[in-house]
Structure formats: structure tokens, C-alpha cells
């Protein structure tokens, strides 16, 4: 759905994109986390937050600067 709650239909062969959607950062993969993996994921993230947060911030900042 788009922001006005209209249904979107696929317009391309790329199974990850729907009509009106865009790939934002091509070298970043988006993955769904299964419900049973949430605790493990967030525990890992919290343990490594000091290293992960600056890398996330840098990637997002660089993307915006290149727009």
C-alpha cells in the first residue's frame, strides 16, 4: 500500500520491488527476522551497539549526501 492506502501491484520482474517502490541503498540487504529470532538478534545488537551504531549512521549519512 502507498501512503494513501492504495493497493500497489508489481510492475517489474524484480520480486523485491512493487509499483512505486524504489531500491534505496543497493549494497544493503534487507532481511526479515523470524519471531523466534528477535531475542537473539536484539541481544547481539545490544552487545555490539557501540560498533554497529556508527556504521549505520555513516551508511545513512553517505546515502543522503549522494542524493
Q: Are 2 and 19 in contact (CB under 8 A)?
A: no
User: Quick one: what percent of the chain has pLDDT higher than 70?
Assistant: 55
Question: Would you say the C-alpha torsion 21, 24, 28, 33 has a positive or negative sign?
Answer: negative
Domain range summary for the chain, segments of one domain joined by +: 35-65
Tell me, what's the pLDDT at 42? 92
State the Cα–Cα distance between residues 25 and 63, nearest whole angstrom: 7
| Of the ranges 18-22, 27-31, 35-39, the best mean pLDDT one | 35-39
- Output the pTM of the full model: 0.47
The angle that helices 38-47 and 49-65 make with each other, rounded to 10 degrees, is: 90
Strand (E) positions, 1-67? none
Amino acid at each position: 500500500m502507498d501512503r494513501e492506502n492504495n493497493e500497489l501491484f508489481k510492475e517489474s520482474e524484480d520480486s523485491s520491488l512493487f509499483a512505486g517502490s524504489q531500491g534505496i541503498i543497493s549494497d544493503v540487504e534487507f532481511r526479515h527476522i523470524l519471531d523466534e529470532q528477535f531475542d537473539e538478534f536484539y541481544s547481539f545488537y545490544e552487545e555490539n551497539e557501540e560498533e554497529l551504531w556508527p556504521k549505520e549512521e555513516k551508511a545513512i549519512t553517505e546515502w543522503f549526501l549522494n542524493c
